[in-house]
Amino acid sequence: MSINTYELYHGAAINRIIDFGKDFKIMKFPSDTNSSYTINQQIGLYIKYSEKRISPWRFNFNKSHQEELQHMKQLHKKVFIIFVCYEDGFTCLSWQELKKLLDDNLEDGEWVHIKRMRKEKYTVTGSDGKLKYKIGKNEFPEKITKNL
């Protein structure tokens, strides 16, 4: 049986969390996508990836993706979205940060755009806004694990 592309990218993100050194129970979140997980039944985790080799990376969110994220938020105390930017690294956003980029008006065709210049942090913008600060490569996975 061959390995699906999403398994490679999701595996890299999940491995980074596991390597952080705490005991976790990571399970698939019941959904129609392959993007959602739950950690210790407390934290929702949604992973998106890009196979584009260099910055900028664009991640599309259709209405069903956003509805799934809202459902996760209803069931978990925290929700994080991990963006795998090919082999460059990970950008991790909290639910609150994502809501600055994609508002509560759920539409098809919304997006998150991530770019990084050499030796700099990630700049993150979205269909409905942007973060006023940059996200460091080293913020993941601590951003998630400190909430357990």
pLDDT digits (tens, 9 = 90+) for 13-64: 999 998 887 788 999 998 888 899 999 999 999 999 999 999 999 999 999 9
Q: What is the value of pTM for the model shown?
A: 0.94
Query: How large is the C-alpha radius of gyration of the chain?
Result: 14
Q: Return the beta strands (E) in 1-134 as ranges.
A: 26-28, 36-39, 43-50, 57-61, 78-85, 89-94, 110-115, 123-126, 129-130
β pairing state of 110-115 and 123-126: antiparallel
pLDDT of residue 32: 81
Distance CA 38, CA 120 (A): 30
**Which one-letter DSSP state was computed for residue 138?**
G
